[in-house]
Amino acid sequence: MRIYIPATWPMLRSLVKNGVLDPIGGTAFALTPRLREAYTSGDDEELEYAAMTEAARASLRLLAVEFGLGENATPPRRVVVAADVDDVTLRPDLDDGAVRINGAVPFERVAAVHVDNEDAEYAVRQAAEAVDRADLGDMDAEFLVGEAEDHELAWYDPSEIAFLVDLR
């Protein structure tokens, strides 16, 4: 199953250094039956994109924690790692596309990495500071999150990840 793991730049750096990605709480997103039911139309590709979008919003939440801890050197870029794994558990208590995986994901299972470009950094920083309020229904905060989500994530092949990390 293709999963989308919310991450941050330090997690991406760790993937390159250690050869594994350890998702926070084992949380990832995928095209689940519940996600499919939440949409009245759309093919698998469109629904996979919806799962990746949920992971990108979760990446904002991770960034909010890092910034709150004073990790200001962390680039304000959403990171989503796409990987293919066999064993997932559905998480109906979370978002429609949420799943839990057991353990770390080895680099060999990574299919791609999706990362914001530099031009999204301002919007992403603003969104990371607002995402909790947006989750609670604050429309001004939701607008800031939407500004970040208007930026498309760039796609990188696994062979490019080490070079990407070295650039920053």
pLDDT reported for residue 37: 81
Contact status, residue 60 vs residue 127, Cβ threshold 8 Å: yes
User: CB-hemisphere CA count at 13 Å for 71?
Assistant: 16
pLDDT reported for residue 162: 93
Q: What is the DSSP string of 12-63?
A: HHHHHHHSEE--GGGEEEE--HHHHHH-SS--HHHHHHHHHHHHHHHHHHHH
pLDDT reported for residue 62: 95
pLDDT reported for residue 45: 86
Residue whose structure tokens are 């991450």 = 7
pTM of the model: 0.93
pLDDT tens for the chain, 168 residues: list them.
999 999 999 999 999 999 999 999 899 999 887 888 888 777 888 888 999 999 999 999 999 998 877 777 789 999 999 999 988 988 877 778 899 999 999 999 999 999 999 999 999 999 999 999 999 999 999 999 999 999 999 999 999 999 999 876
The domain ranges of the chain are 2-157
